[in-house]
Amino acid sequence: MPQLLSRRQTPDKDGLIQHVTPESAGWRYVGFDCFELAAGRTVTRHSGDRELCLVLVGGRASVRAGDQSWESIGERSGPFDGVAPYAVYVPPGCDYTVTAETDLELAVCSAPASGRFPARLIRPQDCERSERGSGSNRRLICNILFGNLDAESLLVVEVITPNGNWSSYPPHKHDTDDAPRETHLEETYYHRLSPPQGFAFQRVYTDDRSLDETMAVENGDVVMVPRGYHPVGAPHGYDLYYLNVMAGPKREWIFHNDPAHEWMLR
**Percentage of residues in the chain having pLDDT higher than 70:** 100
CATH no. for residue 106?
2.60.120.10
pLDDT of 1 over the 80 cut? no
Counting Cα atoms < 13 Å in the Cβ hemisphere of 165 gives: 20
Q: What is the pLDDT of residue 266?
A: 83
Q: What is the pLDDT of residue 168?
A: 96
pLDDT tens for each residue of 48-82: 999 999 999 999 999 999 999 999 999 999 999 99
The 3-class secondary structure across the chain, one letter per residue, is CCCCEECCCCCCCCCEEEEECHHHHCCCCCEEEEEEECCCCEEEEECCCEEEEEEEEECCEEEEECCEEEEEECCCCCCCCCCCCCEEEECCCCEEEEEECCCEEEEEEEEECCCCCCCEEECHHHCEEEEECCHHHCEEEEEEECCCCCCCCCEEEEEEECCCCEECCCCEECEEEECCCEEECEEEEEEEEECCCCEEEEEEECCCCCCEEEEEEECCCEEEECCCECCEECCCCCEEEEEEEEECCCCCCCCEECCCCHHHHC
Asked if residue 52 lies in contact with residue 108, where contact means CB atoms within 8 angstroms, the answer is: yes
Our count of domains for the chain comes to 1
Contacts 24+ apart (CB under 8 A), 120-125: 120/68, 120/88, 120/89, 121/70, 121/73, 121/86, 121/87, 121/88, 121/89, 122/53, 122/86, 122/87, 122/88, 122/89, 122/149, 123/86, 124/75, 124/83, 124/84, 124/85, 124/86, 125/84
Q: What is the pLDDT of residue 136?
A: 96
For residues 214-221, give the mean pLDDT. Answer: 98
Q: What is the pLDDT of residue 244?
A: 98
Q: What is the pLDDT of residue 148?
A: 83
Domain of 97, in residue numbers: 5-265
**Percentage of residues in the chain having pLDDT higher than 90:** 98
Q: Are strands 31-37 and 166-167 parallel, antiparallel or unpaired?
A: unpaired
- What is the band of 175 on the pLDDT scale with cuts at 50, 70, 90? very high
Asked if residue 222 lies in contact with residue 32, where contact means CB atoms within 8 angstroms, the answer is: yes
